[in-house]
Amino acid sequence: MCYVGSLQVLDDDYSKLAFLCADRSIHLHAKYGKHHSLRIPRMGRDMTYDNWSCDLLCAASSPDLYRINLEQGRFLSPLSTQSPALNVVSRSKLHGLVACGGEDGAVECFDMRMKSSAARINAVTHGGDAASEVTAIEFDDSEGLQVAVGSSAGKVFIYDLRTSAPIHVKDHMYESPILSIRWQRTLNTQQPKLITTDKQIVRIWDPNTVLDDDYSKLAFLCADRSIHLHAKYGKHHSLRIPRMGRDMTYDNWSCDLLCAASSPDLYRINLEQGRFLSPLTTQSPALNVVSRSNLHGLVACGGEDGAVECFDMRMKSSAARINAVTHGGDAASEVTAIEFDDSEGLQVAVGSSAGKVFIYDLRTSAPIHVKDHMYESPILSIKWQRTVNTQQPKLITTDKQIVRIWDPNTGEGMTSIQPSGGGINDICVFPGSGLMLLALDSSLIPSYFIPELGPAPKWCSPLENLTEEMEETGQTTIYDNYKFVTKEDLEKLRMTHLIGTDLLKAQMHGYFVNHNLYKKALTVADPFAYDKYLEDKKQKKLEADRSQRIT
């Protein structure tokens, strides 16, 4: 069995079919089943059928448009294009013109009577996307004078065959009418991380690590130390790294896939050369996360010892190293999340295993702000969010229990989300909008829209009208820096004498108390709590190491 990339009906009664498969084979079927199979020289991507000449035309990862004559049962001379590779091919049923779309964004038309090129235009460069590819072509067979061309940038261009300029351009990037699954990939192993080349468990999805803008090239970091590289047609190649991988990112300037693992080395795989390069060695015993700035290309690694080490990829050497999470008073904390602010490139947010977020300026070694999630749960994700609705950026930080949205300059909380469907694994925020999706420990993916954070995406603009109707005039008080405790908790902490004072705010069946005051009272009530915490952490670390041993 193989992945079918294209299906072509050869007869009106569907008795004759042609299947283009991912192993470069074409299977010809009749009523009784499989009739014949053959292989084309390069990987096929699309095909069409010319019923006037009985030619099956195949676009592949080459400049040639392959021709297979089904009447004679043999290959004919291919039609050569000027594109480096072809993505799609289409034929007009009215006048028989054949159009090919290439990786260079060009469309080339052929007159099948002369078997020669009739015209060639750079079809998708009019949208301002020089690196876009042609992904779809369709003729208007009612009059035969217009053709629609789709690009990898999500735009559709309408051309009149008598002119070389588009008569209409429609941006369909966020206006897809298909509100269902578009494609699905399955793996034989657990997937800690997904990356795409061009822009978890550890993390589920990181949109900054996509290998290509149209999500056609993907990299999967799996739990068995393997990395699976996928293309449009499916799995392309797989390889294994020396130690258990935990995180990865993609450097599109050098085509390096950077993998953080349970070792001091940051592994580098060059996808252009197809080989491992010399790793970048850190001073940490093991690495948890890796992140890269899209603005200046600096790469930051977070280790188990709570340190963050930055590398200049031009020199392939360490640029700086700081103990990033020790300023929060948790000496045994690890770095669990790192994210650069790519708007200015001068700030970086670091999340710790103790549930704290540290904001650093790259020019200083001390944090400019520290935010405590107050759940003592590792920070899973950090997002810098800039939209037209906010003058200053907002930080969206996530742990297992809660999503907090706050101002990185003042630390003031904007709002928080605490789902009831299960623990949080990851968060996806639609760029430039107030829409976010949560991956929970359940089969449901809840969606949240916050108008104050940003507008609704174009493809779900009715959200704006719904929120305007639901908007309330009252102001809700947010207890962001407070801890909820019950009366039994107050008795254990010996704080019952504060009931009725301004230090406790009655709410439902308990009270809100300032988090700093709560921590001080907890230290007084149980002075050995921190020692117990360190001992439990050591035991969990030993159990995790034992589970990875090969017996």
Domain ranges of the chain: 4-171, 388-480, 482-551
Supply the pLDDT for residue 351.
95
Mean pLDDT of 122-148: 79
Supply the pLDDT for residue 200.
30
Task: Please list, in sequence order, all residues whose beta carbon lies within 8 angstroms of the beta carbon of residue 498, skipping any fewer than 6 positions away.
Answer: 490, 504, 513
Supply the pLDDT for residue 281.
94
Supply the pLDDT for residue 251.
92
Supply the pLDDT for residue 344.
82
Supply the pLDDT for residue 10.
78
Predicted confidence (pLDDT) at residue 481 exceeds the cutoff of 90: no
Whether 26 contacts 20, CB under 8 Å: yes
Higher pLDDT, 7 or 129: 7
Q: Nearest 5 degrees, angle CA 345-CA 246-CA 234?
A: 95
Supply the pLDDT for residue 205.
36
What is the Rg, in whole angstroms, of the alpha carbon atoms belonging to the chain?
29
Structure-block tokens of residue 331: 């000496």
Whether 247 contacts 227, CB under 8 Å: no
**Long-range pairs of 300-305 with CB within 8 A, sequence gap ≥ 24:** 300/338, 300/340, 300/348, 301/260, 301/266, 301/338, 302/260, 302/334, 302/335, 302/336, 302/337, 302/338, 302/350, 303/334, 303/335, 304/334, 304/335, 305/334
Task: Please list, in sequence order, all residues whose beta carbon lies within 8 angstroms of the beta carbon of residue 374, skipping any fewer than 6 positions away.
Answer: 355, 481, 483, 515
Mean pLDDT of 186-203: 48
Higher pLDDT, 527 or 192: 527
Predicted confidence (pLDDT) at residue 5 exceeds the cutoff of 60: yes
Q: Which of 127-131, 314-318, 376-380, 435-439 has the lowest mean pLDDT?
A: 127-131
Q: Nearest 5 degrees, angle CA 524-CA 478-CA 529?
A: 20
Q: Is 354 exposed, middle or buried (0-12, 13-18, 19+ CB in 10 A)?
A: buried
Angstrom distance (rounded) from CA 86 to CA 57: 12
Q: Which of 174-183, 304-313, 381-390, 429-438 has the lowest mean pLDDT?
A: 174-183
Q: Nearest 5 degrees, angle CA 463-CA 467-CA 470?
A: 145
pLDDT digits (tens, 9 = 90+) for 458-470: 888 778 777 665 5
Task: Please list, in sequence order, all residues whose beta carbon lies within 8 angstroms of the beta carbon of residue 249, skipping any fewer than 6 positions away.
Answer: 195, 206, 208, 209, 257, 258, 290, 291, 292, 299
Predicted confidence (pLDDT) at residue 80 exceeds the cutoff of 80: yes
Whether 198 contacts 217, CB under 8 Å: yes
Angstrom distance (rounded) from CA 160 to CA 537: 68
Confidence bin at 180 (pLDDT 50/70/90):
very low
Supply the pLDDT for residue 178.
42
Supply the pLDDT for residue 241.
94
Confidence bin at 201 (pLDDT 50/70/90):
very low
Supply the pLDDT for residue 479.
64
4-171: in CATH 2.130.10.10: yes
Q: Which of 218-227, 361-370, 514-523 has the lowest mean pLDDT?
A: 514-523
The SS3 of residue 484 is strand
pLDDT digits (tens, 9 = 90+) for 85-129: 999 999 998 888 999 999 988 999 998 888 888 888 888 876 666
Predicted confidence (pLDDT) at residue 199 exceeds the cutoff of 60: no
Q: Which of 203-212, 452-461, 522-531 has the lowest mean pLDDT?
A: 203-212
Supply the pLDDT for residue 259.
95
Supply the pLDDT for residue 15.
83
Alpha-carbon distances, residue 241 vs 260, 267, 522 (angstroms): 10, 8, 44
pLDDT digits (tens, 9 = 90+) for 409-425: 888 888 899 988 789 99
Supply the pLDDT for residue 173.
37
Average pLDDT of the residues of the chain: 82
Predicted confidence (pLDDT) at residue 319 exceeds the cutoff of 60: yes
Confidence bin at 544 (pLDDT 50/70/90):
confident
Predicted confidence (pLDDT) at residue 472 exceeds the cutoff of 60: no
Mean pLDDT of 60-78: 93
Supply the pLDDT for residue 176.
39
Mean pLDDT of 193-203: 41
Q: DSSP label at 178?
A: -
Q: If DSSP states are collapsed to H, E and C, what string results for 11-66?
A: CCCCCCEEEEECCCEEEEEECCEEEEEEECCCCEEEEEEECCCCEEEEEECCCEEE
* Element of type H or E holding 226: strand 226-231
Confidence bin at 207 (pLDDT 50/70/90):
very low
Confidence bin at 68 (pLDDT 50/70/90):
very high
Supply the pLDDT for residue 208.
40
Angstrom distance (rounded) from CA 404 to CA 417: 7
Angstrom distance (rounded) from CA 419 to CA 506: 23
Supply the pLDDT for residue 350.
96
Angstrom distance (rounded) from CA 506 to CA 314: 57
- How many alpha carbons fall within 13 Å on the CB side of residue 53? 18
pLDDT digits (tens, 9 = 90+) for 230-256: 887 778 899 999 999 999 999 989 999
388-480: in CATH 2.40.10: yes
Confidence bin at 321 (pLDDT 50/70/90):
very high
Q: If DSSP states are collapsed to H, E and C, what string results for 98-141?
A: EEEEECCCEEEEEECCCCEEEEEEECCHHHCCCCCCEEEEEECC
pLDDT digits (tens, 9 = 90+) for 500-539: 787 887 777 788 888 778 878 877 777 766 677 777 777 7
The reply to whether 388-480 shares the fold of 4-171 is: no
Supply the pLDDT for residue 174.
36
Angstrom distance (rounded) from CA 370 to CA 351: 10
Of 197-201, 378-382, 389-393, highest mean pLDDT:
378-382
**Long-range pairs of 408-416 with CB within 8 A, sequence gap ≥ 24:** 408/341, 408/347, 408/349, 408/359, 408/369, 408/384, 409/369, 410/369, 411/369, 411/370, 411/371, 412/480, 413/478, 413/480, 413/481, 414/452, 414/453, 415/450, 415/452, 415/478, 416/478, 416/480
Mean pLDDT of 316-343: 86
Mean pLDDT of 171-186: 47
